[in-house]
A and B are shown apart, each in its own frame.
Chain A
Amino acid sequence: MDYAFYIAAAAALAATLRAITASHAVHALLYFIVSLLAVAVIFLLLGAHFAAALEVIVYAGAIMVLFIFVVMMLNPGPRSVQRERHWLRPRIWAGPAVLAAVLAAELVYFAATGAGRSAGAGQVEPAEVGLALFGPYLLGVEMASVVLLAGLVGAYHLGWHLGRRPGGRETGEGEA
């Protein structure tokens, strides 16, 4: 079980590193997907089966597909790869490196003192997650749903405006 954790963690680290350094947008996204899948495996090993499944369905399976969809539509050519290389100069690394160092120091501290060790608290059933979400965390769920609804209404408004504007792009016949 421990070995599986370390393998998944190593995969997540390597994939995330490549996601940042890859200069080709689609390749970077693919590495990011691998990183999400590795995190899902870690969730599974910690006994959070439900969270692992949701990680794959929602993040890897839906949100990242939309990212790829958009990148496909924009179709970045060799020029954008060059620009990306140009952006990834050593100077740019300073800020993120400092922040990452802080996190690494924290990690080393916790590993050394053994504080905050709560991993593997047993298996969490999907029903427990549901009861927690719609019990003590009900307010958070409702707030998230309000944000999502606002996004939905905004997207609908933008689309509606585009379809009705005189001289604007017509949508297909039979669609309003």
Chain B
Amino acid sequence: MDVKGTLIVVFAVIAAALAAAAWEIWLERRLLALWQDRYGPNRVGPFGLLQVVADMIKIFTKEDWIPPFADRPVFVVAPGIVVVTTLLAFAVIPFAPGVAVSGLDVGVLFFLAMISLGVYSVVLAGWASNSKYALIGGLRAVAQMLGYEVYLGLSVMGVVMLAGSFNLSAIVEAQRGLWFCAPQLLGLAIFLIAGIAEAHRLPFDLPEAESELVAGYHSEYSGMKFALFFFGEYLGITLISAMIATLFFGGWLGPWLPPPAWFALKTFAFVAFFILLRAALPRPRYDRLMAWGWKIMLPLALANVLVTGAIVTAKG
């Protein structure tokens, strides 16, 4: 692809990701309201669609306060990291045949690398805030995200073995006959659970559990810096949903509709699933979450790699 084409794809991907994340805030509030028998935001614009715009105006005009006891440079940098790394991870996702910012041959690993760098945002925010609730939130986040990162990586390895490549376009192409959600059902389940924990979404949002930690790692943040954390969370949901669609549900593959439409449909189906989980499940206790990860998820993920490897070797 020439430079101009790449630039167009870059800006299209950034715009699409940002618009999707902003719109998800509205979607989440409306869907939660639907499942809880109330209306949700329905005053600003048609169906309340402009609620996000109103929220943005409010957040831009709020005071951007840095506590005097905070570590200033780290405090300022931390919220940006999660947005930057998540947006970077979108670079390797193919939206249609041949349409991706980068056809990197180690695409899956790039995604894992960006996810693992995103941890810094939460950790540094928790530390730089210099307050006990934020620090506890940050400590929880490190242990949770480091642990679940391991299973996230291991659960993808089955898909990589079946496709024979780390390249995401090649993985989508390899699913022409059968989506990987069928032979890699266990891998899908582990990826989904680990993905929720990585995005620290409910029910795994213990780093910011508001009933015990005020707001966890972002207790001290206000204004635009808080908005970046908030936005980063929705970008993370979009990213994990897009990766589930790409790795396990054939990405842009599908009949009748054009490829990007299929990709968007599948992604938003998982976004809606994430939101349903928030409406349906309570938080687990923190030590149970960790014990469950290391004692059940890790052995299962390793067994999945072992069995898939054995089958691939036996076949080829």
Contacts and interface: CB of A to CB of B under 8 A. Distances in A.
Interface in A67-90: 68-69, 72-73
Given A26-B71, A174-B288, A61 B123 contact: no
Contact of B138 (A49, A50, A54, A72): A72
25 contacts: A27-B74, A33-B120, A53-B110, A53-B113, A56-B113, A57-B116, A60-B113, A61-B112, A61-B149, A62-B149, A65-B116, A65-B146, A68-B120, A68-B123, A68-B127, A68-B142, A69-B139, A72-B123, A72-B135, A72-B139, A72-B142, A126-B105, A172-B287, A174-B287, A175-B287
B117 interface: yes
Contacts, number: 79
Contacts of A73: 139
B109 interface: yes
A65 B166 contact: no
Main secondary structure, interface of B, reads helix
Nearest 8 CB-CB pairs, A to B?
A: A61-B116, A53-B109, A56-B113, A172-B287, A49-B106, A53-B106, A69-B142, A57-B113
A56 to B, nearest CB: 4
B127 A57 contact: no
Given A49-B105, A65-B116, 19 more contacts: A26-B74, A30-B74, A49-B104, A50-B106, A53-B106, A53-B109, A56-B116, A57-B116, A61-B116, A62-B146, A65-B119, A65-B123, A66-B146, A68-B120, A68-B127, A69-B139, A69-B143, A72-B138, A125-B105
A61 B74 contact: no
Interface in A119-159: 123, 125-126
B49 to A, nearest CB: 37
Interface in A18-68: 26-27, 30, 33, 49-50, 52-54, 56-57, 60-62, 65-66, 68
Interface string B162-174: 0000100000000
Nearest to A69: B142
B120 A65 contact: yes
Interface residues of A, number: 26
A175 B289 CA distance: 12
Contacts of A57: 109, 112-113, 116, 153
Contacts of B119: 61, 65
Contact of B117 (A54, A56, A125): A56
B180 to A, nearest CB: 19
B225 to A, nearest CB: 18
A56 B291 CA distance: 27
Interface residues of B, number: 31
Interface of B: 71, 73-74, 104-106, 109-110, 112-113, 115-117, 119-120, 123-124, 126-127, 135, 138-139, 142-143, 146, 149, 153, 166, 287-288, 291
Contacts of B287: 172, 174-175
B198 to A, nearest CB: 12
B113 A61 contact: yes
Nearest to A172: B287
B132 to A, nearest CB: 11
B174 to A, nearest CB: 15
A54 B109 contact: yes
Contacts of B116: 56-57, 60-62, 65
A125 B165 CA distance: 10
A174 B146 CA distance: 22
A60 B127 contact: no
Contacts of A53: 106, 109-110, 112-113
Contacts of B109: 50, 53-54, 57, 126
